[in-house]
């Protein structure tokens, strides 16, 4: 087993390609998770959730608080499941904590929906979008105060360990990211075929007509926000596993901006398309990672962070060619 600090220069061309592919797939998985969060909320409420950044980070914070601190501050009881001081949780225990953190994130989403979004039902969508922007700003200080500068450990059981696939270094976290995203993607696809999922799409299309069918619009909104927040939080948790950030932590530097990086993904895929979120995430991540890997000899010309602008270039091109995105629903109109 090799400790993972990826050093591409020392491996062969084939191994480099595999490493780059896996890295693209893993980053794509993170994008897919967060994009699904956007898509669910947009599909139900027609609102682009600008609070996704702060909400997803809050979800990841819940995770670190549960597993590294062993309980929330100000609460009288500790987390009975937390691993002992200085130890790392086992794999099962880790995922149990992930589920608890997601549940907490979902509750946060429910509260926000009830307090800030529900009273706005029937009001202009623009007003709702701006409210989500306000929520982002209101939650951000809690995240930042809690992280402090050095970031918070996520306590991943497999740490930064990786496999050696014929010379290519494949971190275990990357595989976990792909599996988690695959499960989430399939579940969401399936969800939109269920009674509630179809109702959610109906609400997005015509709220009043949906109400006339007996669909409880408020409940649909609540479920969408709970699911959307939990999915975004899952993306942020996965992105806290080493070696996404070296060392594996939830940090002030990368997490608040993570949702912003997903914006090109949902624009590329189409705001209201699950398939679009999945393809968009993978395409954007591939473009970003491959550009970072194979254009690196021009670092001096392009600047060191050039790969982060690649997604936006793809988005720009996409908007020019297909304004609804790859899989977005164009307005349906008979001719």
Partner 1 sequence: MLEVANLEVVYNEVILVLRGLSLQVPDGQIVALLGSNGAGKTTTARAITGLLDVHEGKSTKGSVTWNGTEITEHLPAKIVEGGISQVMEGRRIFGELTVDENLSCGAFTNRANMDANYDRVMDLFPRLKERNTQVAGYLSGGEQQMLAIGRALMADPKLLILDEPSLGLAPMLIEQIRDIIVDINKQGVSVLLIEQNAMMALSIADFGYVMESGKVVMDGPAQKLLNDEDVQEFYLGLHGDGGERKSFRDVKHYKRRKRWLS
Nearer to partner 1, 70 or 218 (CB): 218
Angstrom CA distances, 70 to 67, 75, 78, 99, stand at 5, 11, 6, 15
Which residues inside 112-151 make contact with partner 1, applying CB under 8 A?
A: 122
Q: Distance (Å, rounded) from C-alpha 167 to C-alpha 11?
A: 7
Fill in the per-residue mask, 193 to 232: x = in contact with partner 1 (CB under 8 A), - = not in contact.
Answer: --x--xx-xx--xxxxxxxxxxxx----------------
Cβ–Cβ < 8 Å for 48, 132: yes
How does 92-106 read in b/e, with b if 16+ C-beta sit within 10 Å? Answer: ebbeebbebbbebbb
Nearer to partner 1, 113 or 272 (CB): 272
Cβ–Cβ < 8 Å for 327, 268: no
Fill in the per-residue mask, 162 to 191: x = in contact with partner 1 (CB under 8 A), - = not in contact.
Answer: ------------------------------
- Provide, rounded to whole angstroms, the least separation between the CB of residue 285 and partner 1: 28
- Provide, rounded to whole angstroms, the least separation between the CB of residue 43 and partner 1: 10
Backbone angles phi and psi of 84, in degrees to 5: -65, 160
Nearer to partner 1, 121 or 182 (CB): 121
- Provide, rounded to whole angstroms, the least separation between the CB of residue 272 and partner 1: 9
Residue 80 touching partner 1 (CB under 8 A): no
Applying CB under 8 A, the site for partner 1 has a residue count of: 22
- Provide, rounded to whole angstroms, the least separation between the CB of residue 49 and partner 1: 20
Tell me the β-bridge partners of 2: 162
What share of residues in the chain are helix, strand, coil (percent, to 5)?
A: 65, 5, 30
Cβ–Cβ < 8 Å for 128, 117: yes
Backbone angles phi and psi of 63, in degrees to 5: -60, -50
- Provide, rounded to whole angstroms, the least separation between the CB of residue 135 and partner 1: 24
- Provide, rounded to whole angstroms, the least separation between the CB of residue 40 and partner 1: 16
Nearer to partner 1, 157 or 218 (CB): 218
- 88 backbone φψ class: left, alpha, beta (φ>0; ψ -120 to 50): beta
User: Whose CA is closest to 153, among 257, 247, 58, 55?
Assistant: 247
- Provide, rounded to whole angstroms, the least separation between the CB of residue 37 and partner 1: 21
Nearer to partner 1, 71 or 218 (CB): 218
Nearer to partner 1, 256 or 328 (CB): 328
Nearer to partner 1, 149 or 195 (CB): 195
Q: Distance (Å, rounded) from C-alpha 303 to C-alpha 296?
A: 9
> Which helix (H) or strand (E) element contains residue 17?
helix 13-45
- Provide, rounded to whole angstroms, the least separation between the CB of residue 313 and partner 1: 30
Nearer to partner 1, 216 or 304 (CB): 216
Binding site for partner 1 (CB under 8 A): 122, 195, 198-199, 201-202, 205-216, 329, 332-334
């Amino acid at each position: 087993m090799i400790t993972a600090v990826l050093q591409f220069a020392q491996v062969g061309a084939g191994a480099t390609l595999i490493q780059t592919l896996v890295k693209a797939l893993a980053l794509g998985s993170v994008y897919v998770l967060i994009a699904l969060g956007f898509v669910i909320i947009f599909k139900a409420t027609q609102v682009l959730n600008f609070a996704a950044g702060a909400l997803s980070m809050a979800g990841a914070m819940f995770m670190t608080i549960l597993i590294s601190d062993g309980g929330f501050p100000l609460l009288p009881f500790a987390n009975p499941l937390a691993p002992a001081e200085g130890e790392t949780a086992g794999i099962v225990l880790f995922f149990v904590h992930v589920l608890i953190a997601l549940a907490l994130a979902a509750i946060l989403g429910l509260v926000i929906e009830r307090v800030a979004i529900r009273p706005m039902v029937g009001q202009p969508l623009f007003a709702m979008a701006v409210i989500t922007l306000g929520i982002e700003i209101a939650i951000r200080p809690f995240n930042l105060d809690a992280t402090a500068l050095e970031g918070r450990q996520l306590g991943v059981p497999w740490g930064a360990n990786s496999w050696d696939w014929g010379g290519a270094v494949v971190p275990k976290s990357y595989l976990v990211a792909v599996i988690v995203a695959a499960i989430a993607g399939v579940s969401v696809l399936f969800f939109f075929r269920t009674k509630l999922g179809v109702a959610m799409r109906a609400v997005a299309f015509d709220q009043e007509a949906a109400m006339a069918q007996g669909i409880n619009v408020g409940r649909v909104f609540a479920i969408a926000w709970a699911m959307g927040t939990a999915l975004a939080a899952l993306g942020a948790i996965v992105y806290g596993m080493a070696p996404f950030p070296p060392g594996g932590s939830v940090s002030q530097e990368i997490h608040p901006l993570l949702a912003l990086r997903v914006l090109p993904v949902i624009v590329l895929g189409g705001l209201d398309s699950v398939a679009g979120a999945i393809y968009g995430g993978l395409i954007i991540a591939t473009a970003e990672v491959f550009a970072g890997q194979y254009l690196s000899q021009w670092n001096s010309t392009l600047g060191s962070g050039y790969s982060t602008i690649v997604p936006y270039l793809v988005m720009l091109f996409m908007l020019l060619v297909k304004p609804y995105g790859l899989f977005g629903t164009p307005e349906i109109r008979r001719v």
